[in-house]
Structure 1
C-alpha cells in the first residue's frame, strides 16, 4: 500500500457507469467533474488548494508557538493525506485504535500516536503482532491502568525483540484516563517499577474537548480545573522521574486548542522540557457548520496573538463538498436530490445547499435561498425559493462535521480550481 496507487472501477461512488477502470495516478487525464454529467452522483470532493492552505496555516500556527502536531488520522483515514501533512511539518499522525494504526503504518507513516488505552491482555497480544510486523515504528500509546502495564510488561518479557514503546498517562476529563491525583501517582510508580527499558514514560495526555459547554464561562471553568490537574501531574512526574528531556503533553481537538497552547506557554516557564503535541484533525478540513464556527471563535478570542488569530480568521475554510443531482421535484419549490443519510453526516446538522449547477456551469449561489428540510436514506428534500431549478441540475452541498461524513465514502475526489478531478484518495474506514 506504500505506493498509494489503486484502481478505480465500477462500484465506487462517482465512477462513471460503463467507463474503463483507471489507476488513481491517471485519473487527472480523464478530465472528470461532478458538474458535467459523466460522474455518478452523489460523491464527496476535496478542494485541493483550500486543503493545502489550511495545512500550511495550521503548521505555521503550531510552529510559531513552539508546539508540534500529530493530526488525527481518524478524520480522513487516508494515509496519503496523512503523509501530506507529515511532509508539511507534522510530527506524525494520531489514530484511535490498532486497526487504524496498521493502516497508517502500511501506508508508509512511521510515527504513530495511538490516542487510547487499547484494552487488556488480548489487545496487548495484538499490539505485539503489529510491532513485530513494523519493528521500526515509533509508537506512542495512552495508558491509564496498572493492569494494562502488567500486560505490557508480561508481553515484552516474552519477546525480547519487540521495539521500544512510548507511554503517555491519560488524564481523564469525562472519558478515558486517570480520574484522581492518587490514580496518576499509582500509574507513575507502576511504570517506574517496570524493569524493561523498552517501556518508557514519555509524558501525559488529555482530551480537552469534553470541557466544552454552551456557556463559555462554564467551559473555561472546566478547562481551568483540567489544567490544574495537568499541572499537578507534571509536578508528580518530575518528582518521580526527575528532569526528563522532551516530556510530551498531548492534547486533541479543533475547538479549544487556543486554550491548550496558552496553557502550554505558561507551563513551559515552570517546566521548560515539556513539548506540546497536538492531535487536532478536523480543522484541516473545516466544514460549513460547527467546526468552522468554533475556529472563528478561536480567532475572535485572540489568545494566540494577533498574527495567529488573523491566520485562523483568513484560512480554515471548508474543503469538503457533496454533489448530488436533482432527480425529481415535489411541488413548486421542493427539489428531490439523490443524496441521503447514507452519504452525509447528520449528527451536527444536515448538508447545506450552496450552489446550483447546470450543464457544467454554476447558475446560482443558493445558500441564502434554500435549505435541506429532510433526509431519507437516499433522498434529500431541498426547499429552493427565489431560484428556478430543473430536474438534472446538480446541487453543490457544504457538509457539517467532516469526521462523520468522510467515513461514508471509500473515495474522496480531489478537485482543482476548475472543479475538475485531479486526484483520488482511498479511505480505510473498514
Structure 2
C-alpha cells in the first residue's frame, strides 16, 4: 500500500509514502501532512471497544464473529481476531473474497447466495479447506448451492414480517432445512436470524424466542448436526441475544455478529447500544471523528464547513460538531453549532451563541460507522494527541 495523491485527506502532491514511514514519523494531523476534511480513528477507543466486546462474549458464553462490513479494514479485523473473535462476518461474496485473500480462516456470509459464479468459487475454496458459511431462506437458494457442487455449510434463516431476508414461518424454516438435507453437497449447520430492524425490546425478544423455537424444532426433527450453531446479533440488541439464546448455549455454539461496536459512533449507536440498558456490562466509545475546516461565514447564524456527503455518513443522522480548534491551536466546545444539512462537499452549520472564523477546524462525531468507512480508502489511526501511529486501508 502506498500513500500518495490518490489518498484523500493525505497531502502528498509530489511524493509517495508507505504507511510504515508515516507511522515512524508520527506526524500530527495539524502539521501540514494532511488536508481537510480528514477522517481519523482513535486507537485508544478502538482498543477499548474490542476488549469490551471480547469480555462481554466471554461472560455470556458467546462466540464472536463481528461483521467486517463495518470497516473492511484489515488492521481492525486482525485486532478483533487477536482478541479472540471466532471468525468474521461479511455481507457479500465480494467481501468474502477480500477476507479470503487476507487469509481470514473462518468467514460467515450473512446472506443467501444465488450467483453461480460466486457459488462456483466458494465451492472451490470449500473443497480446498476454507471454513466459510452462508445462509439459505428458499428452496431456490438450496438448489443453487447444490448445483454449484459444494461442499457447503449453510444456515437456515428465519426472518420477520417487514424485516429483511429469512423465511417468515417455522413451517417454511423446516421446509428449507429438509431441502438442505436432501441436497447433495450441502450441509445444514444451524439457524440464523437478524433482529436489528425491530423497533423495541418486546418485538426483539419475541423474534429471538421464535428463532430459538425454530432451532429446537429442527433439532427435534433430527435436521441439525451434532454440534449446531445458533447465530444472530446486530449492534443494537446484542444483550437480548445473549439473554434469549442462553437456554441453548449448552446444546449449540451461539455466535454474536455485532460489527459497529468496533468503532461505535456519536449518533445512532450511542443512543441504541445495549450498554445504555445494561451499563454494568461495559461501555463503548466513539472512535471515529472527522476534522473539517470552516470555509465561509457568509451571514449571521450560518457557516459552512468543507465536508459533505462524499465524506461523512448521513443515512442515520447528521454529523455532530464536538469541538472547535482555533487558528492558534486552542480548543473550545462546539456548543451552539448544529449541522442542518449536507451537500456533496458542504456542511451547513447553524450558529447560535458561538463564534467561528474561516480557517478554524471543527471536530465532528459521526452517526453510523458502516457508511463512514466506505467513503475513505486510507484512514489515519491516531493517538490522543492526534499523532498518526498507523494507517488503516479499507476495501469495499
Could you say which residue in structure 2 is the equivalent of 1:357?
325
Count of equivalent residues: 394
Could you say which residue in structure 2 is the equivalent of 1:52?
47
Could you say which residue in structure 2 is the equivalent of 1:144?
137
Q: How many angstroms apart in 2 are the aligned matches of 1:390 and 1:120?
A: 53
Could you say which residue in structure 1 is the equivalent of 2:265?
287
The aligned runs of 1:344-383 (5 Å cut-off) are 344-359=312-327, 361-366=329-334, 368-383=335-350
Determine if contact 1:35/1:358 at 8 Å carries over to the other structure.
Answer: no
The 1:339/1:100 distance shift into structure 2, 3 A limit, reads same
Q: How many angstroms apart in 1 are the aligned matches of 2:280 and 2:330?
A: 31
| 3-state SS of 1:262 partner | helix
The aligned runs of 1:26-425 (5 Å cut-off) are 26-128=21-123, 131=126, 135-156=128-149, 164-173=151-160, 174-196=163-185, 199-211=186-198, 213=199, 216=200, 219-220=201-202, 222-241=203-222, 244-268=225-249, 272-295=250-273, 298-302=274-278, 309-312=279-282, 315-359=283-327, 361-366=329-334, 368-425=335-392
Q: How many angstroms apart in 1 are the aligned matches of 2:49 and 2:38?
A: 22
Q: Structure 2 length normalisation: TM-score? A: 0.93
The 1:190/1:353 distance shift into structure 2, 3 A limit, reads same
Q: How many angstroms apart in 2 are the aligned matches of 1:19 and 1:415?
A: 24
Offset, 1:311: 4.1
| 3-state SS of 1:61 partner | helix
Q: Structure 1 length normalisation: TM-score? A: 0.86
Offset, 1:146: 2.1
Q: How many angstroms apart in 2 are the aligned matches of 1:146 and 1:77?
A: 31
| 3-state SS of 1:166 partner | strand
Offset, 1:126: 4.3
Offset, 1:33: 2.8
Q: How many angstroms apart in 2 are the aligned matches of 1:374 and 1:192?
A: 52
Tell me how large the CA RMSD over aligned residues is: 2.0
Determine if contact 2:194/2:234 at 8 Å carries over to the other structure.
Answer: yes
Determine if contact 2:188/2:224 at 8 Å carries over to the other structure.
Answer: no
Offset, 1:279: 0.8
Determine if contact 1:116/1:141 at 8 Å carries over to the other structure.
Answer: yes
The 1:423/1:360 distance shift into structure 2, 3 A limit, reads farther
Q: How many angstroms apart in 1 are the aligned matches of 2:350 and 2:32?
A: 23
